[in-house]
């Protein structure tokens, strides 16, 4: 896990990737015309700074500012994802996702279901994968 700070650029400002030793522009090569710049902080992210136990019940409560990057090192991006992103098959990286909370805290049950899904946004691999694999919590496949 890594912390990401997303800041709005000033009018006309462009920053090159790796513009300082402690932070770097991620997801871009060279210059970007994006309205925002993402800075990746690769230092350790203490677990207690992103989640805690709920006041009652099971699961966890997520609480973090800005954005959180999750890199799943043990599995590469699928070819379908590469096609979706418009990248060639030889550019397969570890599955990388970004999370952002719209509220201070979001509950997550023991199965990984978010209590209030509209309060959390997934970008990157999980954002793409969630849409493809999302079904209602009570879904029953009647074909089986």
pLDDT digits (tens, 9 = 90+) for 7-16: 888 775 555 4
Residues 84, 129: Cα–Cα separation, whole Å: 11
User: What's the whole-number average pLDDT of the chain?
Assistant: 80
Residues 126, 61: Cα–Cα separation, whole Å: 19
Per-residue model confidence (pLDDT) at position 137: 64
Tell me which of 80 and 140 has the higher pLDDT. Answer: 80
Q: What is the pLDDT of residues 79-103, one digit of tens each?
A: 999 998 888 888 899 999 999 999 9
Per-residue model confidence (pLDDT) at position 90: 86
Strands 120-123 and 67-76: unpaired
pTM, two decimal places: 0.71
Q: What is the mean pLDDT of residues 29-51?
A: 78
Task: Tokens for 27, please give them.
Answer: 């997801």
The phi and psi torsions of 2 (rounded to 5 degrees) equal: -135, 150
Task: Map out the domains of the chain as residue ranges.
Answer: 1-44, 46-135
Q: What is the mean pLDDT of residues 59-78?
A: 93
Q: Which of 68, 70, 61, 64 is nearest to 109 (CA)?
A: 61
Which residues, in sequence order, are bridge partners of residue 101?
Answer: 120
């Amino acid at each position: 896990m890594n912390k990401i700070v997303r800041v709005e650029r000033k009018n006309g400002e462009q920053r090159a990737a790796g513009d300082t030793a402690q932070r770097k522009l991620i997801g871009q090569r060279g210059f970007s015309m994006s309205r925002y710049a993402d800075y990746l902080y690769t230092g350790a992210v203490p677990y207690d700074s992103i989640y805690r136990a709920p006041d009652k019940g099971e699961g966890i409560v997520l609480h973090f500012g800005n954005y959180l990057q999750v890199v799943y090192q043990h599995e590469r991006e699928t070819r379908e994802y590469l096609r979706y992103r418009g990248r060639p098959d030889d550019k397969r990286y570890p599955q990388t996702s970004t999370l952002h909370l719209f509220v201070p805290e979001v509950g997550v049950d023991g199965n990984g279901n978010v209590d209030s899904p509209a309060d959390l946004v997934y970008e990157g691999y999980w954002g793409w994968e969630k849409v493809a694999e999302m079904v209602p919590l009570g879904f029953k496949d009647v074909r089986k």
